[in-house]
Structure formats: C-alpha cells, structure tokens
Amino acid sequence: MQASAEAIGLEPAERAPDGASPALDEGETVLAKFERLALVIGGTHEQGEGTLFITETRVIWLSAVDASLGYAAGFPTIAMHAVVSDEASGKPCLYLQLDNGEEGEGFAGFGAAPAADEEAEEEGEDSSEEEGLLAELRLMPADGSQLEPLFQAFCEGAERNPDFTTDEDEEGAGFVYNEDEALAGAAAAALGMGDVEELVGADADRFADPDEEEEGEEAADKPQPSGGC
C-alpha cells in the first residue's frame, strides 16, 4: 500500500518525538489542525480516522490508531480540491485529486499508468486491485462543521503555493467541478445536512474570495478556475 500511495504523489509522514504531531522541516510551522478526519485513498482504501496538519507548504495526515501510519502531500501535488458527497456514505467530504508530476494523458489513475500494488499481487487479490490506486483522496470529518474551515484552509494553501503553469492550454484544467455545488456542499455539511444541492440557492457566495467581487464585470466574462477559493 505504501508503494502505491507514493506512486500517486503521497509521501510517508514521520512523527515528532511526542508521537502525536508530525516531524516538521526547519522553519516549517503548523497553521491549522483538524482532528477526527477519516482518510480514504484511491476511492476504496480506508485508512481510519486521524489528524490533519496543514503547514505553509504541505498537508500531513497522521493515523489516530496506528502510530506507523501517516501520509504527506505538498500543495503543488494537489491538482484539485472540492466538496462532494462520498459515494459510500452519502456524507459531504473534501475530495482531492493528486498530480504526481509524471508524463501521461492525465493524472495518475486518470489516463496515466496506475501504480502497481505489490501487496495486492502478493495476496493474489483481483485484477482491479493489482492495477493500482486512483490518484484521489477523500477526507471525511466526523464533525460536519469542520468541512467549511477545512475547505478554506486548502484554498489558502493553494494561494500560498501557486502553480506557475505557462501553458495556456492547461489553464484551469484542474477545476472540473461545479463551483456552486462545492460551496453549497461545505455550507450543507456545516449545518449537518447531506444534500449538496439543497443550499445552492441560499447563498452561493458564502465562501467566495472577497477579491473576486472587486474584479467587476470584466472578470465575470473570463473563466474562473478558482474552484470557489
């Protein structure tokens, strides 16, 4: 599992001597912390609950039950984030799509060659497991009110670590979801509601960046690949 996780852009996360916090690089500080976040890797691989730490440049998830389990990803690796409904539970969650930086017709798991899962091969599991992991994560908070600040924390992290892509053809390529639904999903979760569409008409600008309002009509005529951040 670890090898496959690394192939889609995740790195193993080390713990500090206290065992409850991550080992940080020199000068790195924790800007936000979210407890009781269940992590699902590749759509089906549940990792249980843990704590998510957000620093200036990356996100770090540490398992609450397995001291040897932890993952980290730099913000440039996160190609997209959005609020969606989890297919299995139907509850709102934060969906992340990763870009491992390899050449191909898409992100790993989306057109590119997926990572081989060595553990699955050794255990003789079915071919769908052997093909590898989709390059996606889901973070599901036990407390729905955490979803709004979690979404905003990822927006702020993306702003601190911009993708300096010069290819105009790739502009906005990572934002493929409906912005209003994503914003309404965070609002619905904060109110303990599961349907992402129920609050679309209530206040779709609730989580909008105030700077967007200053751009005026000229900005409204251009594509907005901000994803609500």
Lowest mean pLDDT among 34-38, 72-76, 127-131, 156-160: 127-131
Question: Is residue 117 predicted with pLDDT exceeding 50?
Answer: no
Average confidence (pLDDT) over 53-65: 97
In this prediction, residue 166 has a pLDDT band, given cuts at 50, 70 and 90, of: very low
Q: What values do phi and psi take at 198, rounded to 5?
A: -65, -35
Question: Is residue 165 predicted with pLDDT exceeding 80?
Answer: no
Q: In what order do the strands lie in the sheet with 30-41?
A: 11-12, 70-74, 58-63, 45-55, 30-41, 136-141, 92-98, 78-85
CA 138 vs. chain centroid, Å, equals: 6
Average confidence (pLDDT) over 215-224: 49
The CA-to-CA distance between both ends of the chain, in Å, stands at: 32
Please report, for the chain, the start and end positions of each structural domain, with discontinuous segments joined by +. 2-177
pTM of the predicted structure, to 2 decimals? 0.66
Distance in angstroms (rounded) separating the CA atoms of residues 128 and 63? 26
> What kind of fold does domain 2-177 have according to CATH?
PH-domain like (2.30.29)
**144 contact partners, CB below 8 Å, separation of at least 6:** 91, 92, 189, 190, 191, 192, 193
